[in-house]
Amino acid sequence: MTIHVHTKLLRIAATVLLSVIAAGCSSSSDQPQVASLPTTTIAIAPTVTRHSTSVSTSTSTSTGSRPRERLDESPAQDEALYAPWNECLDTHGAGKADRPTQSAETAAQAACAYLKPLPPWQLDPANPKALGFVQHIVACLHQHGVRYAQVKLGDGWGYELGGPQNDQTSINKGLQLGPTCDQQAQREDPSASTSP
């Protein structure tokens, strides 16, 4: 039997799992940690992420439109999409190797904003059907026994797994079922994928 896995959601699952582990190991507060799927970053933590989970074939310039992520792109395409934004952050002293102050990070983010990819259209808050798309995914997760899954808005629409108890069963099952529910949502609401 051959199993095909949606690579974007597999990368998301790995990112979520690593973030959950890191949050659990590094948290000093008594507040429970909740895993969430990045939306443009379908980002898990409240920090700014510089790497997303999908890509667009478009490019951008300081006067052109921002590039847009897609749900179905490869890690190599993702890397290529985010390279100009990461290079700009490096140039402004807020790259991966830097330890910028909050004000320096904010200034770099503002200077490079035109290069930061937009979320996939299906998850973009500018898409009036994006919320419905994510609600389809969450409903599917619930139908398949994921107890703690809820809609969340970050850089784009997405969903969180685990609830306030950081329920590992919901997280693991949600990560496993995410690709299936994503595909089901695309079949049930193809109009959410149509950009203006």
Question: What own/partner pairs with CB < 8 Å and gap ≥ 24 does 106-110 have?
Answer: 109/48
| Series of mean pLDDT values for 10-residue runs along the chain (196 residues) | 33 42 43 42 28 35 73 87 94 85 92 93 91 94 95 89 93 93 87 74
pLDDT, position 29: 43
